[in-house]
Amino acid sequence: MKLAKTYDPKEIEDRLYKKWEDNGYFHAKVDKRKKPFTIVMPPPNITGKLHMGHALDNTMQDILIRFKRMQGYEALWQPGTDHAAIATEVKVTNALKEKGIDKRKIGREAFLDYCWKWREEYGRTIITQLKKLGSSADWERERFTMDEGCSKAVEEVFVKLYQKGYIYKGSRIINWCPKCQTSLSDAEVEHVDQDGFFWHINYPVKGEPGRFVEIATTRPETLIGDTAVAVNPDDERYKDIVGKTLLLPLTDREIPVIADAYVDKEFGTGCVKITPAHDPNDFEVGKRHNLEEINILNDDGTMNDKCGRYAGMDRYEARKAMVADLDKLGLLVKVVPHTHAVGTHDRCHTTVEPMVKPQWFVRMKEMGEAALEAGRKGDVKFVPDNYIKTYEHWLTGIKDWCISRQLWWGHRIPAYYCDDCGEMVVQKGGAPKVCPKCGGKHFTQDPDTLDTWFSSALWPFSTLGWPEKTPEYEYFYPTDVLVTGYDIIFFWVIRMVFSALEQTGKAPFHHVLIHGLVRDEQGRKMSKSLGNGIDPLDVIDKYGADALRLTLMTGNAPGNDMRFYWDRVENSRNFANKVWNASRFIQMNLDGFNLHDPENKDFRTEDKAIISLVNTLVKDVTDNMEKYELGVAVGKVFDFIWDEFCDWYIEMVKPRIYARDTDPKSANAALFTLKNVLSISLKLLHPYMPFITEEIYCSLNPCEDTIMTSGWPLYQKAAHDEKAEEIYSRVKELVKGMRAVRKDMNVPNSKKATLYIVSEKKAVRDIFEENTSLYQTLCSANAVKVQKDNKGIDEKSVSFVITDATCFVPLAELVDMDKERERLQKEQKRLEGELKRSNGMLSNQKFLSKAPAAKVEEEKAKLAKYQQMMADVKKRLSEL
């Protein structure tokens, strides 16, 4: 198959991806003869759409899986999607609203039917988009967090942990969304800076008329739930009131003053209202002092019946009313503007309320300690390794995990309550037949579902068939590497580690490869609110998937954020064009040529050098990829292909190719080397740019079905040729020096001149004498003379220095002396005029005082430029 004249990613990408899928190249099998390598794909939400974060994350995974597949591993990239409980429920609820359907009226079962239909219609959108990126996941094994197997694993784990005492139902402080009316995990809460106020309020001291304790709060509506005011035990200002009683404003209750080290003496007034039911820190203080927990809010964010005349008001409406009443009572001291971080639900953007509610929790002490130990022992390693500190930080003193959600879409909690006596039974396989306490036969299942993270925490092993001991689980587990962003270490990585250790006795992966965020050109996080997001599909449509993938990996370092620049994408596209055109040149010259294995003596220095260089490249790139230095690796491949191979080696061997009729052996050695070095280069590039490398490789090697199974190149010690590399390097230095002279003197390459190379070292002279044909054409030299001294060289010669030698080119052969002198004199006259004008402006005080500063600086820059140009012209005239 001939390569097309121009590289068109749109023409090849869909065709090649279909070829790969049709031939089952992505499918991994249990094969005990081969070593397994497993990556589990972080499951994108079924509500999701491909964004730059997905593109980077999945590109990195695909690079690793393609690399290992070529190395001969049985490489499994296990894909799947997450049911995304809250996100999906919000989507479906809104879609039903548009049709005039109320979720509550149609009931749970009918709503779930709509959710499953929604999943069937929209839930695979992101999978289709990942395929456009070139992701070579084993789609035949695609899983879903609510499929039968994953659901079975979830139920198994819940029951096991409950029976062990690690899962319990109790009242603790949680994040509550008044709009969605569900508890939330910390991962679903975004902290957004909002403009607000500190309301300073006086609490009267009981029995001491005129004496008050001043507190400052950002949420005055929670005052009704206060059960104490706390001060620091070391605060001399308040030692005499500790143990006294305060009259809680707007209520008929009295609350104590307590001493607790939680209070910062230096912050605010040093007195803190304690509302255990509505603040996580206050909740802990309340536990230490046995304070009552008074919940003042209904689930929809309105004030409940404990709030007197404010009952039924929205929380913010109540805030205004209460502040006004405090002002009337003379208890409002002042209102101070204050900007602070407010927790909001990441889906509906409603301000979240901390609330004490009965929920299901996972006790974290024992499992958290096991996960901490796994990190310290190195059972789980982070790349870069400094992220182990983040991991340990989150696990140190980890709090119990709220796992229940007041949603319908998700894994329903397998807890059943006897309708007759209320006895709770937790078990697998549905409701019990008979109540163990009263013998009743009617049960109601707990209405809550599990936090989405509960099922995704089991992802590395539930996707492989656990709790069954499937062949896939036995062979592919534990997985080798997890690729994920640094913002998800706590929410997902830690939960996978402690869940896997508890359920399988093994860490779920050996390495966690951390990447940063993809930011815009200004370094800002891409977001809808800023309108600076870039759709990866738009980039693919314009430049191709390979160009996007290369851009995302160029300069990429583990753990570091990167900026997305469109000019980098263009550069990646230009690189693809360079590879394509070079490959097409080679293919065109191979066409009709009887290529065969050359004899060793037919290989010239440049052949041996490029073979040695690509051999070293294989060693270095393999080493970088094994260490997950993916950005470093592709940088080396890019530089080798663009610079060493295309710009140097191909240009060096062109004369030999064009002389194929007069010296077929030399042409054969050159073409043989071109094809083999290109094939190796394509293999090294394939994980990063799979489409273009597949098209070119299969075109050059029609007997091979795909580059994916062609085998990763191996370092060959015998191919290393230090002498050839030294000669090659010296020749490049010589050519660069000659080209610099021509550029400096504005001499076209078509102008031939004699090149003298002078060196006292015989070994150096031998190199240039024996390899004249290698560099003469590249230097545009009509003759080359290598000698020991300057004898016979025109004094009016241009010279340049290279390692161990000085090179000379007679000036008269480069330029017409009279014409060049005339041209330079005209340029000198022009520059004299510019200098006079510029000096005049900058010595004019009127200009300096009235002109904008930027204009003055611009003129100074011009003057400096003209002065440098004049110095260069005078130097050249002197030389002439």
Binding residues for ATP: 528
CB–CB of 63/135 below 8 Å? no
d(CA 241, CA 259): 10
CB–CB of 442/418 below 8 Å? yes
CB–CB of 479/38 below 8 Å? yes
For the range 116-123, what are the long-range contacts, defined as Cβ-Cβ under 8 Å and sequence gap of 24 or more? Answer: 118/88, 118/91, 118/92, 119/46, 119/83, 119/88, 119/144, 122/46, 122/47, 123/46, 123/81
Taking Cα atoms as reference points, which of 621, 648, 157, 611 lies closest to residue 360?
A: 157
Question: Strands 182-184, 167-177: parallel, antiparallel or unpaired by DSSP?
Answer: antiparallel
Q: Label residue 592 left, alpha or beta by phi (over 0 means left) and psi (-120 to 50 means alpha).
A: left
Residue type, 725: E
CB–CB of 837/805 below 8 Å? no
Residue with tokens 């869909």: 14
Torsional sign, CA 643, 648, 654, 657: negative
| C-alpha dihedral (733, 734, 738, 743), degrees to nearest 10 | -10
Task: Quote the distance between the C-alpha of residue 404 and its chain's center.
Answer: 30
Residue with tokens 């959108």: 125
CB–CB of 616/720 below 8 Å? yes
CA distances from 293 to 118, 173, 242, 248, 299 (A): 41, 10, 21, 15, 16
d(CA 766, CA 775): 14
Give the containing element (helix H, strand E) for 108. Answer: helix 108-122
d(CA 687, CA 69): 10
d(CA 412, CA 155): 9
584 contacts: CB under 8 Å, gap ≥ 6: 3, 5
d(CA 472, CA 493): 22
Residue type, 285: V
- β-strand partners of 345: 189
d(CA 873, CA 742): 16
Residues forming the annotated binding site?
528
d(CA 280, CA 265): 20
d(CA 774, CA 770): 9
d(CA 59, CA 546): 10
